[in-house]
Amino acid sequence: MSEFLYLYRNGEKLSPEQMQQQMGRWMAWMKELEGKGVLKNVGHPLERSGVLVSGAKRAVTDGLFAEAKDVIGGYSIVEAKNLEHAVELTAGCPIFAVGGGVEVRPLMKM
Amino acid sequence: MNPLDPHLFRHEWARLVAALVRVFGVHNLELAEDVAQETLFRAMNVWKQAGVPDHPSAWLTTVAKRRVIDELRRARKQAIAAPEVARFLESEWTRVGTVDELFTEQPLHDDELRVMFSLAQPRLPEASQLALVLQLSCGFSDAEIAAALITSTAAVTKRLQRAKEVVRGSRSLYELADADLPERLASVQRAIYLLFNEGYHGACSEAVVRADLCAEALRLAGLLTKHPRTGTPETLALAALLHLHAARLPARLDEHGEPVPFSEQPRDRWDQSLISRGLALLGEASCGDTLTPFHIEAAIAAVHATAASAATTPWPQIVALYDTLLRLAPSPIVGLNRAIALAEAAGPERGLAELAALDARALESYVFYHAALGQLSARAGDRMAAKLHFARAIQLARSPMEAAFLTHCAARFGAD
């Protein structure tokens, strides 16, 4: 078994009603992952603010996100047999229904 | 934890927008909307991973207040506060206390009303007022409004942009003590009435959307009845009318989701608690000597609600009520409904004669005019005419569901 990081990329802007429905779907999906015993860490939602510190002079840039749509809105860690399995487990993630996506990254074993 | 209000986000949106408009002023409507949107967005993200807190409203209020204080600090000398409270919000000393006060329960209730009255600008067309109420008081997105009012999202966006410009132009939130309250109240009542009708008669094929519109109209009417300045006999009569009509919603669709004609609805599926509430409201509305069209419409709905079946309905009484309604608020549609009632009371020929006397030009594009002509022609034995009328009605149908319903009616009367 290996661990994988799910990075949730936000989709389109939702109305209050859609947000409530979306929240319900997320909770159901998280429960499903938990039920399968693959959810290692439920993770965190991430603030929209944030900066990029780079270069020898540690230059601080904000507004690194070109599109609100592509912002990483949160993460979780799951356990899966391989990348293919980890991808398969994203089935049912509600983010796809609203034009968002999940970036699946294997954690390097140490 | 209590079961979550299935429309919690929508209702909290209305509450947050009301408080935020109080803080930032009507001229900063967009900022108020942004903060409300972001507060709910944060709730969705945190709650989906951490669970819904025990007191979701309090959670949202705390988050919104924190954002407000940030915004006010960041704005420094820019005027982003409402003029009536700016003095207190701009000073470090009184800021937090004032924000706390603006977010407390009782004023909030009034603020929701004040937002609604601010949207009911007499110089805005009715369709714009309706779109504004749907967005700011009910939390509908442009696309949701477009679906409800059967138009394009682009058209709604454009309409709302123009309307918001007018609203932003008013210097402050509407005061319920202002002298033109009766005029504004009439606009607000009208918007709520239209909102309900859109849900009840609208051609939108999604039953869920339609039930939502009716529920929102009931909620807003409830807000109006609770305030001493807006809970007039006319408001009570409107609320009575909406309750009595809403009672029939569970019987309007059969098990296949097809609409059921009024006369065939299984009346045991009408919601008795809504009927009792409606009758009580009508009683309250009729204590004084005010008589408005809403009173008569509610009285008609009350007669239907308390009749055991379509056949045992006292139709002459309904015709008499329509006579009164025609005197108070003459319109071709009221004339049409009176003719239908008269046909029940005195036979299809009498109904047809009444229909012939109506202004056909005003009703030409109205689906139910042709459907009524079709039905009464069929019952009078003129199948040829009935076929033509139903064909016209189907041609005018505003959705596939409405067309299917009319086709079904035509078949029942042997006019397909």
Q: Where are the domains of chain B?
A: 1-103, 121-175+182-198+208-227
Contacts of A15 in chain B (CB under 8 A): 139-141, 143-144
Alpha-helical segments (H) within B78-152:
86-90, 95-102, 105-119, 126-132, 142-149
The C-alpha R_g of chain A, in whole angstroms, comes to: 16
The pLDDT, as a whole number, for residue B110 is: 83
**Cα angle for residues B370, B376, B380 (degrees, 5° grid):** 140
Segment B358-372 shows an average pLDDT of 90
Whole-number pLDDT of residue B344 = 94
CATH number of the domain at A2-106, please? 3.30.70.1060
Confidence of residue B198 (pLDDT cuts 50, 70, 90): confident
Residue A110 has pLDDT above 50, yes or no: yes
What was the pLDDT predicted at B250? 87
**Average pLDDT of span B211-230:** 91
For residue B152, the 8-state DSSP code is -
Residues from chain A contacting residue B13 (CB–CB below 8 Å): 16
Q: Which residue, B221, B136, B151, is CA-closest to B185?
A: B221
In a mutagenesis test of the A interface, which of B7, B34, B45 is the best target, namely the one with the most A β-carbons within 10 Å?
B45
Q: Is the pLDDT of residue B349 over 60?
A: yes
Give tens-digit pLDDT for B133-155: 999 999 999 988 888 777 889 99
Q: What is the pLDDT of residue B106?
A: 66
Q: Which of B6, B40, B45 sits opposite A45 (nearest CB)?
A: B45
Which one-letter DSSP state was computed for residue B262? G
In whole angstroms, what is the distance from residue A89 CA to residue A38 CA? 9
Per-residue confidence (pLDDT) for residue B1, from 0 to 100: 44
Size of the A and B interface in Cβ pairs below 8 Å: 59
What lies within 8 Å, CB to CB, of B343 at 6+ separation is: B350, B351, B352, B354, B376, B379
CB atoms near residue B375 (< 10 Å): 25
Which range (B38-47, B53-62, B247-256, B345-354) has the least confidence? Answer: B247-256
Token pair 């600090």 in the structure block, residue: B73
Query: How high is the pLDDT of residue A33?
Result: 95
Separation of alpha carbons B30 and B34, rounded Å: 6
Interval B64-94: pLDDT, tens: 999 999 998 887 666 778 877 887 888 888 8
Over residues B288-316, mean pLDDT: 94
User: What value of ipTM does the predicted structure carry?
Assistant: 0.90
